[in-house]
């Protein structure tokens, strides 16, 4: 029988996160466990952030990221903030360095409880995003939904923040668009060989955006940190805003903006925002069976 591990149900601006402590173990959270946890109303999530022992000198942990459909994700900014809050509460430390499939990133918890994550440098080359077709300028690619002479969405900015993103610029409130209908079509469009996160972005001021995201492997999400970063970078890249913006995540129930800075010096993207603990428990990483801390001995399937 596989020993249970500690986990916390958290959220980053509404983005539903499970932080799972896999340190000291050689196994992993399985896709089957992720699917079972996602199907349960108590543990439903957008991403699992599984903390493993560090594999590289100078880092604090390896973070394995799973989507709710059991597939692997390369990056999750909101989830990283949750990991920082959990480890800061455990250790008393404020600064951490993590390694993911997308690379090494640093994060800091500030005195006010907000957390900044170094999301790395954006990637614009078509074959590294990746796209199926070559585009010299990925700030505007040929892709549309709707009638050819009056498309509903068109000409997105494409880029990677460790995972592929397409940012569609809209004039109205992103909540007024039927993203639940268009999201799956665009996520799985042949132009994205590794699928893509689909974001609707509205420019609301010279340094502010309003966004809503269909997340690759997770569907409609209350918030997506890497998508917020992609929208901010794409807005600056297309001269819609400057390099420092606040993001109003339209679908989030938490009315607190993300602050995104695309630094000029090193080209890195720094995301600052909140994280929130909800409850803790133990789970079986092979099956997804779990117990809430307040309900010791009562197992949920």
| Element spanning 37, H or E | helix 31-39
| Residue 74 to residue 54: CA distance in whole angstroms | 17
Please state, for a pLDDT cut of 70, what percent of the chain lies above it.
Answer: 97
pLDDT digits (tens, 9 = 90+) for 173-229: 999 999 999 999 999 999 999 999 999 999 999 999 999 999 998 888 888 889 999
Mean of the pLDDT values across residues 35-44? 96
| More confident call, 256 vs 85 | 85
Catalytic annotation present for 224: yes
77-91 vs 225-237: helix axis angle to the nearest 10? 130
pLDDT band at 301 (very low <50, low <70, confident <90, very high): very low
Is the confidence at residue 299, as pLDDT, over 70? no
> pTM for the whole thing?
0.89
Common-topology check for domains 5-119+276-295 and 144-267 = yes
pLDDT per position as a tens digit, 130-186: 999 999 999 999 999 988 888 999 999 999 998 999 999 999 999 999 999 999 999
CB atoms within 10 A of CB 247: 27
Give the distance, in angstroms, between the CA of residue 16 and the centroid of all CA atoms in the same chain.
10
- pLDDT in the model for residue 298: 36
Q: What is the spatial distance between Cα 7 and Cα 62, in angstroms, rounded to a whole number?
A: 16
Closest alpha carbon to 177 in 110, 251, 69, 107:
251
Checking if the pLDDT of 233 tops 70, the result is yes
**CATH for 5-119+276-295?**
3.10.310.10
Q: What is the C-alpha to C-alpha distance for residues 90 and 159, in angstroms, rounded to an integer?
A: 35
CA–CA separation, 190 and 276 (whole Å) = 37
The verdict on whether 76 is a catalytic residue reads: yes
Residues with Cβ within 8 Å of residue 275, at least 6 apart in sequence:
10, 11, 12, 78, 81, 82, 84, 85, 115
Please tell me whether residue 99 adopts helix, strand or coil conformation.
Answer: strand
Predicted pLDDT at 1: 60
**Enclosing H/E stretch for 83:** helix 77-91
Domain 144-267 belongs to what topology? Diaminopimelate Epimerase; Chain A, domain 1 (3.10.310)
């Amino acid at each position: 029988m596989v020993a249970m591990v500690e986990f916390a149900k958290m959220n980053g601006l509404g983005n539903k996160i499970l932080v799972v402590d896999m340190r000291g173990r050689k196994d992993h959270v399985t896709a089957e466990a992720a699917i079972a946890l996602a199907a349960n109303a108590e543990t439903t999530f957008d991403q699992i952030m599984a903390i493993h022992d560090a594999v590289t000198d100078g880092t604090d942990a390896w973070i394995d990221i799973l989507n709710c459909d059991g597939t692997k994700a390369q990056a999750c900014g909101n989830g990283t903030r949750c990991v920082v809050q959990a480890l800061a509460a455990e250790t008393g430390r404020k600064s951490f360095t993590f390694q993911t499939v997308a690379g090494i990133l640093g994060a800091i918890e500030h005195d006010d409880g907000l957390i900044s994550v170094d999301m790395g440098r954006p990637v614009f080359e078509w074959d590294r995003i990746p796209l199926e077709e070559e585009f010299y300028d990925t700030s505007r690619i040929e892709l549309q939904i709707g009638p050819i002479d009056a498309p509903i969405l068109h000409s997105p900015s494409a880029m990677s923040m460790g995972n592929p993103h397409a940012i569609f610029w809209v004039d109205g409130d992103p909540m007024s668009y039927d993203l639940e209908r268009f999201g799956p079509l665009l996520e799985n469009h042949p132009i994205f060989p590794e699928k893509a996160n689909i974001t609707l972005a509205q420019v609301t001021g010279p340094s502010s955006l309003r966004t809503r995201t269909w997340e690759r492997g997770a569907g409609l999400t209350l918030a997506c940190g890497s998508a917020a970063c992609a929208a901010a970078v794409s807005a600056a890249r297309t001269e819609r805003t400057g390099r420092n913006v606040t993001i109003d995540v339209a679908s989030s129930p938490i009315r607190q903006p993300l602050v995104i800075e695309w630094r000029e010096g090193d080209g890195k993207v720094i995301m600052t925002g909140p994280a929130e603990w909800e409850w803790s428990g133990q789970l079986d990483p092979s099956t997804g069976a779990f117990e809430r801390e307040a309900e010791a001995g009562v197992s949920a399937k």
